[in-house]
């Protein structure tokens, strides 16, 4: 069990990649703190983790709310006395072309996908530095590397997350804290539920493997990066896109 007894916080863990990551982490022995804006989804993921034989607890929080994030971290530290892993997975989309995008759409995505990563990381890093170890894992995207039509806000946030990763790996590495990012391509999650069938078909055609990725495949990357097996990986951005950007 590669994550045995590690305490891991996973944001955006109510569905998709976050939920898969929470389930993977408990199977690998971690104590998992499930965070999400959707209260029912939090309960479902916590139940799934417990049914898998793991220890999990849930928090219904918005990562753009610094007070809520600080309160969650304080409660976790009060209970477990340490935090070993933070997976900054929470994210939303509010797509529109540049000329059509509203300030609210732009701000909503930046607040959750970028500012939320800052909030959660700053909230846990003191405890990690004090214990002399820790792992921060940030959810970027191929959109953050290559851009994408209609996603000015999302691309900016995911590119910013890569900047966080590179900077924090330099700042925090000497303190025993590793920081890495994962940049998924097209993953079969609820975020794609409104995409028309013909668009989904074109998306698959862009991938040499001719399929979308599975949340569990990204979760496995997070589990590896969180483990001691990845002890010399720091400041990396791992693209997991099935080769779509070749």
Q: Are 22 and 31 in contact (CB under 8 A)?
A: no
Name residues whose C-beta falls within 8 Å of residue 78's C-beta, 6 or more positions apart in sequence: none
- Residue-wise pLDDT for 174-226, tens only, equals 999 999 999 999 999 887 777 788 888 888 999 999 999 999 999 999 999 99
Q: Is 146 a catalytic residue?
A: no
Name residues whose C-beta falls within 8 Å of residue 160's C-beta, 6 or more positions apart in sequence: 114, 144
Q: Choosing from 80, 146, 149, 154, which is the catalytic residue?
A: 154
Q: Are 196 and 232 in contact (CB under 8 A)?
A: no
pLDDT for position 192 = 76
pLDDT above 80 for 165: yes
CA-based end-to-end distance of the chain = 34
**CATH for 7-240, among 3.30.160.100, 3.40.50.720, 3.10.180.10, 3.60.150.10?**
3.40.50.720
d(CA 148, CA 157): 12
- Residue-wise pLDDT for 129-164, tens only, equals 999 999 999 999 999 999 999 999 999 999 999 999
């Amino acid at each position: 069990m590669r994550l045995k007894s590690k305490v891991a916080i996973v944001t955006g863990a109510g569905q998709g990649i976050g939920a898969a990551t929470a389930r993977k982490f408990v199977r690998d022995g971690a104590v998992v703190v499930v965070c999400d804006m959707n209260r029912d989804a939090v309960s479902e993921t916590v139940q799934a983790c417990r049914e898998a034989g793991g220890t999990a607890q849930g928090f219904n929080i918005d990562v753009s709310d610094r007070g809520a994030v600080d309160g969650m971290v304080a409660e976790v530290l009060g209970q477990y006395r340490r935090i070993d892993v933070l997976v900054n997975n929470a994210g939303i989309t509010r797509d529109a072309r540049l000329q059509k995008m509203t300030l609210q759409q732009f701000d909503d995505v930046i607040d959750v996908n970028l500012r939320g990563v800052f909030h959660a990381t700053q909230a846990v890093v003191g405890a990690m530095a004090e214990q002399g170890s820790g792992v921060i894992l940030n959810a970027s995207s191929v959109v953050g590397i290559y851009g994408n039509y209609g996603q000015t806000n999302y691309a900016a946030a995911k590119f910013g997350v890569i900047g966080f990763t590179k900077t924090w790996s330099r700042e925090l590495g000497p303190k025993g804290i590793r920081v890495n990012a994962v940049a998924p391509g097209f993953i079969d999650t609820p975020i794609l539920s409104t995409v028309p069938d013909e668009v989904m078909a074109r998306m698959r055609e862009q991938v040499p493997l001719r399929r979308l990725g599975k949340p569990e495949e990204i979760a496995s990357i997070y589990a590896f990066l969180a483990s001691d097996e990845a002890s010399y990986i720091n400041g990396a951005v791992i693209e997991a896109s099935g080769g779509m950007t070749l």
